[in-house]
Amino acid sequence: MELKFRRNPDYQTLSDEVTSEKMFMDRRHILSAAGFLGAGSILGALPACSEPQQTPAAPATASGHPAPGAKLTAKKAAYAVTDAATVEEAFAGYCNYYEFGTSKDDPPRYASLMKTSPWQVTVEGETDAPGAYALKDLIDYKKLEERIYRHRCVEAWSMVIPWIGVPMKDVIAKLKPKATAKYVQFVTYLNPKEMIGVNRPVLQWPYTEGLRLDEAMNELPLFAVGAYGKSLEKQNGAPLRTVIPWKYGFKATKAVVKIRFTTTEPSTAWNKANANEYGFYSNVNPNVSHPRWSQASERVIGGKGGFNERRNTEMYNGYEKQVGALYAGMDLKKNY
Ligand code: MTE
Protein backbone atom coordinates (compact mmCIF):
# COMPACT_ATOMS: atom_id res chain seq x y z
CA MET A 1 0.00 0.00 0.00
CA GLU A 2 1.27 3.43 -0.91
CA LEU A 3 2.53 5.75 1.82
CA LYS A 4 0.26 8.79 1.98
CA PHE A 5 1.34 10.48 5.19
CA ARG A 6 1.37 14.25 4.83
CA ARG A 7 4.03 15.83 6.98
CA ASN A 8 2.64 19.32 7.33
CA PRO A 9 -1.08 19.37 6.62
CA ASP A 10 -3.53 22.06 7.62
CA TYR A 11 -5.94 19.37 8.58
CA GLN A 12 -4.30 16.05 8.99
CA THR A 13 -7.11 13.54 8.92
CA LEU A 14 -7.38 10.39 10.94
CA SER A 15 -7.19 8.49 7.64
CA ASP A 16 -3.46 8.94 7.48
CA GLU A 17 -3.21 6.08 9.91
CA VAL A 18 -5.20 3.81 7.62
CA THR A 19 -3.33 4.66 4.45
CA SER A 20 0.12 4.54 5.97
CA GLU A 21 1.10 0.91 5.85
CA LYS A 22 4.80 1.69 5.99
CA MET A 23 4.42 3.87 9.06
CA PHE A 24 2.30 1.17 10.57
CA MET A 25 4.93 -1.46 9.97
CA ASP A 26 7.58 0.85 11.42
CA ARG A 27 5.54 1.13 14.60
CA ARG A 28 5.12 -2.59 14.57
CA HIS A 29 8.88 -2.95 14.72
CA ILE A 30 9.12 -0.42 17.52
CA LEU A 31 6.44 -2.12 19.58
CA SER A 32 7.73 -5.55 18.82
CA ALA A 33 11.25 -4.52 19.83
CA ALA A 34 9.82 -3.19 23.06
CA GLY A 35 8.20 -6.56 23.68
CA PHE A 36 4.59 -5.37 23.32
CA LEU A 37 3.47 -7.93 20.82
CA GLY A 38 4.60 -11.31 22.11
CA ALA A 39 1.85 -13.77 22.95
CA GLY A 40 3.41 -14.19 26.40
CA SER A 41 2.71 -10.57 27.26
CA ILE A 42 -1.03 -10.67 26.68
CA LEU A 43 -3.14 -10.07 29.75
CA GLY A 44 -5.80 -12.67 30.34
CA ALA A 45 -9.48 -11.67 30.27
CA LEU A 46 -10.54 -10.58 33.73
CA PRO A 47 -13.57 -12.08 35.41
CA ALA A 48 -16.87 -10.27 34.95
CA CYS A 49 -17.99 -9.83 38.55
CA SER A 50 -16.04 -10.08 41.76
CA GLU A 51 -15.07 -8.30 44.97
CA PRO A 52 -13.27 -4.94 44.93
CA GLN A 53 -9.53 -5.23 44.24
CA GLN A 54 -7.32 -5.02 47.29
CA THR A 55 -4.88 -2.30 46.31
CA PRO A 56 -3.20 0.34 48.45
CA ALA A 57 -4.90 3.72 48.70
CA ALA A 58 -3.96 6.10 45.90
CA PRO A 59 -1.49 8.88 46.68
CA ALA A 60 -3.34 12.12 46.17
CA THR A 61 -2.18 15.22 44.33
CA ALA A 62 -2.21 18.54 46.15
CA SER A 63 -5.77 19.05 44.95
CA GLY A 64 -6.98 15.74 46.31
CA HIS A 65 -7.30 13.46 43.27
CA PRO A 66 -4.91 10.58 42.55
CA ALA A 67 -1.74 11.36 40.62
CA PRO A 68 -1.19 9.68 37.21
CA GLY A 69 -0.08 6.09 37.67
CA ALA A 70 -1.30 5.82 41.31
CA LYS A 71 -3.01 2.53 42.14
CA LEU A 72 -6.80 2.72 42.31
CA THR A 73 -9.32 0.58 44.11
CA ALA A 74 -12.25 -0.32 41.87
CA LYS A 75 -15.15 -2.73 41.99
CA LYS A 76 -15.23 -5.04 38.96
CA ALA A 77 -18.53 -4.29 37.27
CA ALA A 78 -20.62 -6.69 35.20
CA TYR A 79 -19.42 -5.13 31.96
CA ALA A 80 -16.54 -7.13 30.63
CA VAL A 81 -15.94 -8.41 27.14
CA THR A 82 -14.38 -11.84 27.08
CA ASP A 83 -11.53 -11.02 24.67
CA ALA A 84 -8.08 -10.66 26.18
CA ALA A 85 -7.33 -7.12 27.25
CA THR A 86 -4.79 -5.23 25.16
CA VAL A 87 -1.30 -5.42 26.58
CA GLU A 88 -0.88 -2.33 28.76
CA GLU A 89 2.28 -1.12 27.04
CA ALA A 90 0.44 -0.90 23.72
CA PHE A 91 -2.35 1.16 25.31
CA ALA A 92 0.22 3.50 26.87
CA GLY A 93 2.50 3.65 23.84
CA TYR A 94 0.17 3.77 20.83
CA CYS A 95 -1.95 6.88 21.34
CA ASN A 96 -4.02 9.48 19.54
CA TYR A 97 -3.72 12.85 21.28
CA TYR A 98 -3.11 15.50 18.67
CA GLU A 99 -2.43 18.24 21.23
CA PHE A 100 0.93 16.47 21.61
CA GLY A 101 1.54 15.61 17.95
CA THR A 102 0.11 13.39 15.26
CA SER A 103 2.34 10.31 15.61
CA LYS A 104 1.20 7.52 17.89
CA ASP A 105 4.35 7.81 19.97
CA ASP A 106 4.24 11.62 20.36
CA PRO A 107 1.78 11.64 23.31
CA PRO A 108 3.82 9.24 25.49
CA ARG A 109 6.91 11.27 24.65
CA TYR A 110 5.57 14.77 25.28
CA ALA A 111 2.55 14.54 27.60
CA SER A 112 4.70 14.59 30.75
CA LEU A 113 4.92 18.38 30.29
CA MET A 114 1.21 18.71 31.08
CA LYS A 115 0.03 19.67 34.58
CA THR A 116 -2.94 17.65 35.82
CA SER A 117 -3.23 19.18 39.27
CA PRO A 118 -4.99 21.32 40.31
CA TRP A 119 -7.86 20.36 38.00
CA GLN A 120 -11.24 22.00 37.74
CA VAL A 121 -14.17 21.16 35.53
CA THR A 122 -16.48 24.04 34.61
CA VAL A 123 -20.13 23.13 34.29
CA GLU A 124 -22.27 25.56 32.30
CA GLY A 125 -25.21 26.06 29.96
CA GLU A 126 -28.62 24.51 30.55
CA THR A 127 -28.01 23.36 34.13
CA ASP A 128 -29.27 24.11 37.63
CA ALA A 129 -25.85 23.32 39.07
CA PRO A 130 -23.37 25.51 37.18
CA GLY A 131 -19.93 26.18 38.60
CA ALA A 132 -16.29 25.17 38.78
CA TYR A 133 -15.90 21.73 40.34
CA ALA A 134 -12.69 20.30 41.75
CA LEU A 135 -12.23 16.83 40.26
CA LYS A 136 -12.62 15.13 43.63
CA ASP A 137 -16.04 16.81 44.02
CA LEU A 138 -17.19 15.62 40.61
CA ILE A 139 -15.94 12.03 40.75
CA ASP A 140 -16.69 9.81 43.72
CA TYR A 141 -13.39 7.94 44.04
CA LYS A 142 -15.00 5.57 46.57
CA LYS A 143 -17.37 4.29 43.91
CA LEU A 144 -14.96 3.50 41.08
CA GLU A 145 -15.83 0.61 38.77
CA GLU A 146 -13.66 -1.37 36.42
CA ARG A 147 -15.25 -2.11 33.04
CA ILE A 148 -13.52 -3.97 30.24
CA TYR A 149 -14.71 -2.35 27.03
CA ARG A 150 -13.88 -2.59 23.36
CA HIS A 151 -12.21 0.53 21.96
CA ARG A 152 -12.59 0.98 18.19
CA CYS A 153 -10.77 3.81 16.46
CA VAL A 154 -12.23 5.25 13.24
CA GLU A 155 -8.83 4.41 11.70
CA ALA A 156 -9.92 0.74 11.75
CA TRP A 157 -7.83 -0.50 14.66
CA SER A 158 -9.09 -1.67 18.02
CA MET A 159 -8.08 -2.46 21.59
CA VAL A 160 -9.78 -3.97 24.66
CA ILE A 161 -9.26 -1.81 27.73
CA PRO A 162 -9.96 -2.30 31.45
CA TRP A 163 -11.14 1.22 32.26
CA ILE A 164 -11.72 2.56 35.76
CA GLY A 165 -14.30 5.26 36.27
CA VAL A 166 -17.85 6.12 37.23
CA PRO A 167 -21.00 5.98 35.10
CA MET A 168 -21.43 9.23 33.21
CA LYS A 169 -25.14 9.19 33.99
CA ASP A 170 -24.47 9.45 37.74
CA VAL A 171 -22.26 12.51 37.30
CA ILE A 172 -24.73 14.14 34.93
CA ALA A 173 -27.60 13.56 37.36
CA LYS A 174 -25.55 15.40 39.99
CA LEU A 175 -25.09 18.30 37.55
CA LYS A 176 -28.86 18.80 37.19
CA PRO A 177 -29.39 19.49 33.48
CA LYS A 178 -32.53 21.56 32.87
CA ALA A 179 -35.44 20.09 30.90
CA THR A 180 -34.27 22.29 28.00
CA ALA A 181 -30.90 20.49 27.83
CA LYS A 182 -30.87 18.09 24.86
CA TYR A 183 -27.12 17.67 24.33
CA VAL A 184 -23.90 17.74 26.30
CA GLN A 185 -20.59 19.06 25.01
CA PHE A 186 -17.16 18.17 26.41
CA VAL A 187 -14.34 20.68 26.06
CA THR A 188 -10.78 19.61 26.73
CA TYR A 189 -7.65 21.16 28.20
CA LEU A 190 -5.65 23.56 26.06
CA ASN A 191 -2.29 25.02 27.06
CA PRO A 192 0.20 25.81 24.27
CA LYS A 193 3.04 25.97 26.80
CA GLU A 194 2.49 22.34 27.77
CA MET A 195 1.11 20.93 24.52
CA ILE A 196 3.51 21.16 21.63
CA GLY A 197 1.01 19.89 19.06
CA VAL A 198 -1.42 22.79 19.38
CA ASN A 199 1.04 25.16 17.75
CA ARG A 200 0.09 23.49 14.46
CA PRO A 201 -3.43 24.03 13.07
CA VAL A 202 -4.20 20.31 12.85
CA LEU A 203 -7.63 20.90 14.43
CA GLN A 204 -9.42 23.95 15.77
CA TRP A 205 -8.41 23.85 19.42
CA PRO A 206 -9.62 23.16 22.03
CA TYR A 207 -10.70 19.62 21.11
CA THR A 208 -14.46 19.35 21.64
CA GLU A 209 -16.97 16.53 21.41
CA GLY A 210 -20.60 15.97 22.24
CA LEU A 211 -23.43 13.53 22.78
CA ARG A 212 -27.20 13.67 22.74
CA LEU A 213 -28.25 13.80 26.38
CA ASP A 214 -30.04 10.45 26.18
CA GLU A 215 -26.84 8.87 24.80
CA ALA A 216 -24.88 10.33 27.71
CA MET A 217 -27.49 8.97 30.16
CA ASN A 218 -27.20 5.42 28.74
CA GLU A 219 -25.73 2.83 31.13
CA LEU A 220 -22.44 2.43 29.17
CA PRO A 221 -20.60 5.79 29.03
CA LEU A 222 -17.99 6.40 31.69
CA PHE A 223 -16.08 9.30 33.05
CA ALA A 224 -12.82 7.40 33.30
CA VAL A 225 -10.05 8.33 35.72
CA GLY A 226 -7.98 5.17 35.34
CA ALA A 227 -7.13 2.03 33.40
CA TYR A 228 -5.19 -1.17 34.15
CA GLY A 229 -5.70 -0.71 37.91
CA LYS A 230 -4.08 2.73 37.99
CA SER A 231 -4.90 6.38 37.65
CA LEU A 232 -4.76 7.45 33.96
CA GLU A 233 -1.38 8.34 32.52
CA LYS A 234 -1.23 11.74 30.88
CA GLN A 235 -1.02 10.42 27.30
CA ASN A 236 -4.26 8.48 27.82
CA GLY A 237 -6.29 11.46 29.05
CA ALA A 238 -5.41 12.18 32.69
CA PRO A 239 -6.99 13.14 34.90
CA LEU A 240 -10.47 12.75 33.36
CA ARG A 241 -11.67 11.38 30.01
CA THR A 242 -14.89 10.14 28.55
CA VAL A 243 -15.38 6.56 27.32
CA ILE A 244 -18.26 5.79 24.95
CA PRO A 245 -17.61 2.21 23.79
CA TRP A 246 -20.10 1.98 20.90
CA LYS A 247 -18.69 5.05 19.15
CA TYR A 248 -15.43 5.62 17.30
CA GLY A 249 -12.63 6.54 19.68
CA PHE A 250 -12.43 10.19 18.66
CA LYS A 251 -15.76 10.80 20.45
CA ALA A 252 -13.94 10.06 23.75
CA THR A 253 -12.41 13.31 24.96
CA LYS A 254 -9.19 13.30 26.93
CA ALA A 255 -8.49 15.82 29.72
CA VAL A 256 -12.03 17.19 30.10
CA VAL A 257 -12.19 20.71 31.58
CA LYS A 258 -15.70 21.77 30.64
CA ILE A 259 -19.12 20.13 30.50
CA ARG A 260 -21.69 22.28 28.73
CA PHE A 261 -25.38 21.42 28.45
CA THR A 262 -26.99 22.77 25.27
CA THR A 263 -30.34 22.91 23.51
CA THR A 264 -28.82 22.32 20.05
CA GLU A 265 -26.24 19.92 18.64
CA PRO A 266 -22.82 21.13 19.82
CA SER A 267 -19.88 21.52 17.47
CA THR A 268 -17.23 18.80 17.51
CA ALA A 269 -13.56 19.05 16.56
CA TRP A 270 -13.40 16.41 13.81
CA ASN A 271 -16.75 17.42 12.34
CA LYS A 272 -15.48 21.01 12.03
CA ALA A 273 -12.30 19.72 10.37
CA ASN A 274 -14.07 17.48 7.86
CA ALA A 275 -17.85 17.16 8.10
CA ASN A 276 -18.07 14.70 5.18
CA GLU A 277 -15.91 12.19 6.98
CA TYR A 278 -16.67 12.64 10.68
CA GLY A 279 -20.31 12.97 11.67
CA PHE A 280 -21.82 13.94 15.00
CA TYR A 281 -22.96 10.38 15.80
CA SER A 282 -19.92 8.36 14.71
CA ASN A 283 -21.39 5.10 15.94
CA VAL A 284 -19.27 2.08 15.07
CA ASN A 285 -21.00 0.59 12.03
CA PRO A 286 -19.42 -2.05 9.78
CA ASN A 287 -22.06 -1.34 7.10
CA VAL A 288 -21.23 2.34 6.64
CA SER A 289 -17.79 2.87 5.16
CA HIS A 290 -15.66 5.89 5.84
CA PRO A 291 -15.55 7.76 2.49
CA ARG A 292 -11.99 6.49 2.00
CA TRP A 293 -11.94 3.04 3.60
CA SER A 294 -14.12 0.19 4.79
CA GLN A 295 -15.18 -0.14 8.41
CA ALA A 296 -16.11 -3.81 8.04
CA SER A 297 -13.06 -5.10 9.88
CA GLU A 298 -10.38 -3.85 12.22
CA ARG A 299 -6.78 -4.49 13.11
CA VAL A 300 -6.36 -5.65 16.71
CA ILE A 301 -3.57 -3.74 18.43
CA GLY A 302 -1.54 -5.50 21.11
CA GLY A 303 -3.56 -8.69 20.75
CA LYS A 304 -2.67 -12.33 20.22
CA GLY A 305 -1.65 -12.03 16.59
CA GLY A 306 0.30 -8.81 17.07
CA PHE A 307 -0.48 -6.01 14.65
CA ASN A 308 -1.67 -8.25 11.86
CA GLU A 309 -4.57 -9.90 13.66
CA ARG A 310 -7.90 -8.80 12.19
CA ARG A 311 -11.44 -9.21 13.43
CA ASN A 312 -14.77 -8.33 11.91
CA THR A 313 -16.20 -5.11 13.28
CA GLU A 314 -19.51 -5.49 15.09
CA MET A 315 -22.52 -3.20 14.89
CA TYR A 316 -22.23 -0.58 17.63
CA ASN A 317 -18.92 -2.25 18.46
CA GLY A 318 -20.81 -5.20 19.99
CA TYR A 319 -23.06 -3.05 22.22
CA GLU A 320 -26.24 -3.17 20.12
CA LYS A 321 -28.30 -4.64 22.94
CA GLN A 322 -27.51 -1.70 25.21
CA VAL A 323 -27.70 1.14 22.68
CA GLY A 324 -29.63 0.03 19.56
CA ALA A 325 -32.88 1.58 20.81
CA LEU A 326 -31.27 5.04 20.92
CA TYR A 327 -31.20 5.06 17.11
CA ALA A 328 -34.44 3.27 16.30
CA GLY A 329 -35.92 4.63 13.06
CA MET A 330 -32.87 6.74 12.21
CA ASP A 331 -31.15 6.52 8.84
CA LEU A 332 -27.68 5.45 9.95
CA LYS A 333 -26.13 6.29 6.58
CA LYS A 334 -27.27 9.91 6.90
CA ASN A 335 -26.59 10.11 10.62
CA TYR A 336 -23.04 8.77 10.38
N1 MTE B 1 -8.94 13.76 23.04
C2 MTE B 1 -8.17 14.86 22.82
N3 MTE B 1 -8.26 15.88 23.70
N4 MTE B 1 -7.34 14.97 21.76
C5 MTE B 1 -7.24 13.96 20.83
O6 MTE B 1 -6.46 14.09 19.85
N7 MTE B 1 -8.00 11.73 20.12
C8 MTE B 1 -9.15 10.84 20.10
C9 MTE B 1 -9.61 10.46 21.52
N10 MTE B 1 -9.62 11.61 22.39
C11 MTE B 1 -8.03 12.79 21.01
C12 MTE B 1 -8.86 12.72 22.15
C13 MTE B 1 -8.94 9.61 19.33
S14 MTE B 1 -8.89 9.80 17.64
C15 MTE B 1 -8.89 8.37 19.90
S16 MTE B 1 -8.87 6.94 18.96
C17 MTE B 1 -8.76 8.21 21.37
O18 MTE B 1 -8.72 9.46 22.04
C19 MTE B 1 -7.48 7.46 21.65
O20 MTE B 1 -7.35 7.18 23.01
P21 MTE B 1 -6.05 6.39 23.51
O22 MTE B 1 -4.86 7.10 22.92
O23 MTE B 1 -6.06 6.48 25.00
O24 MTE B 1 -6.17 4.99 22.99
Tens digits of residue pLDDT in 54-64: 444 555 677 78
DSSP assignment string, 57-114: PPPB-TTSSBPTT-B---EEEEEE-SSPPPPHHHHHHS---GGG-SSTTHHHHHGGGS
Which pLDDT score, from 0 to 100, does residue 304 have?
67
E strand or H helix at 300, and its extent? strand 297-300
CB–CB of 89/36 below 8 Å? yes
Q: Which one of 97, 186, 189 would you pick to mutate in the ligand 1 pocket, going by the greatest count of ligand atoms within 8 A of its CB?
A: 97
Q: How far is the CA of 175 from the centre of ligand 1 (A)?
A: 25
Give the integer Cα–Cα distance in Å for 162 and 164: 7
Give the integer Cα–Cα distance in Å for 123 and 246: 25
Q: How far is the CA of 249 from the centre of ligand 1 (A)?
A: 6
- HSE of 28 in the Cβ direction (CA atoms, 13 Å)? 16
**Of the listed ranges 16-20, 84-88, 140-144, 228-232, the one predicted with least confidence:** 16-20
Q: How far is the CA of 140 from the centre of ligand 1 (A)?
A: 24
**Bond into 239 cis (ω within 30):** yes
Atom of ligand 1 nearest to the CA of 248: 16
Q: How far is the CA of 254 from the centre of ligand 1 (A)?
A: 6
30 pLDDT above the threshold of 80: no
Atom of ligand 1 nearest to the CA of 255: 3
Give the integer Cα–Cα distance in Å for 257 and 241: 9
In this predicted model, what pLDDT tens digit does every residue of 160-169 receive, in sequence order?
999 999 999 9
34 pLDDT above the threshold of 50: no
37 pLDDT above the threshold of 70: no
Q: How far is the CA of 128 from the centre of ligand 1 (A)?
A: 30
Which pLDDT score, from 0 to 100, does residue 22 have?
37
**Surface-to-core class of residue 85, CB atoms within 10 Å of its CB (0-12 exposed, 13-18 middle, 19+ buried):** buried
CB–CB of 310/298 below 8 Å? yes
Which pLDDT score, from 0 to 100, does residue 50 have?
35
303 pLDDT tier (thresholds 50, 70, 90): confident
CB–CB of 226/164 below 8 Å? yes
Give the integer Cα–Cα distance in Å for 259 and 188: 9
Instruction: Please state the φ and ψ torsions of residue 321, each to the nearest 5 degrees.
Output: -60, -40
Which pLDDT score, from 0 to 100, does residue 61 have?
74
309 pLDDT tier (thresholds 50, 70, 90): confident
Task: Delineate the domains of the chain, giving CATH numbers in brackets.
Answer: 27-327 (3.90.420.10)
Point out which residues pair with 53 in neighbouring strands.
none
Give the integer Cα–Cα distance in Å for 159 and 151: 5
Percent of all residues in the chain with a pLDDT value above 70, rounded to a whole number: 81
Q: Which of 78, 23, 53, 103 is nearest to 307 (CA)?
A: 23
Percent of all residues in the chain with a pLDDT value above 90, rounded to a whole number: 77
**Per-residue DSSP letter, 185:** E
10 pLDDT tier (thresholds 50, 70, 90): very low
Q: How far is the CA of 248 from the centre of ligand 1 (A)?
A: 10
CB–CB of 153/104 below 8 Å? no
306 pLDDT above the threshold of 70: no
101 pLDDT above the threshold of 70: yes
CB–CB of 106/185 below 8 Å? no
pTM of the model: 0.86
pLDDT (average), residues 137-147: 97
pLDDT (average), residues 235-261: 98
Q: How far is the CA of 171 from the centre of ligand 1 (A)?
A: 21
Which pLDDT score, from 0 to 100, does residue 14 have?
53
**Of the listed ranges 74-88, 89-103, 299-313, the one predicted with least confidence:** 299-313
**Of the listed ranges 18-22, 153-157, 290-294, the one predicted with least confidence:** 18-22
3-class SS at 306? helix
Q: Which one of 250, 257, 290 would you pick to mutate in the ligand 1 pocket, going by the greatest count of ligand atoms within 8 A of its CB?
A: 250
Q: Is the CB of 158 under 6 A from ligand 1?
A: no
Q: Is the CB of 183 under 6 A from ligand 1?
A: no
In this predicted model, what pLDDT tens digit does every residue of 317-336 receive, in sequence order?
999 999 999 999 999 999 99
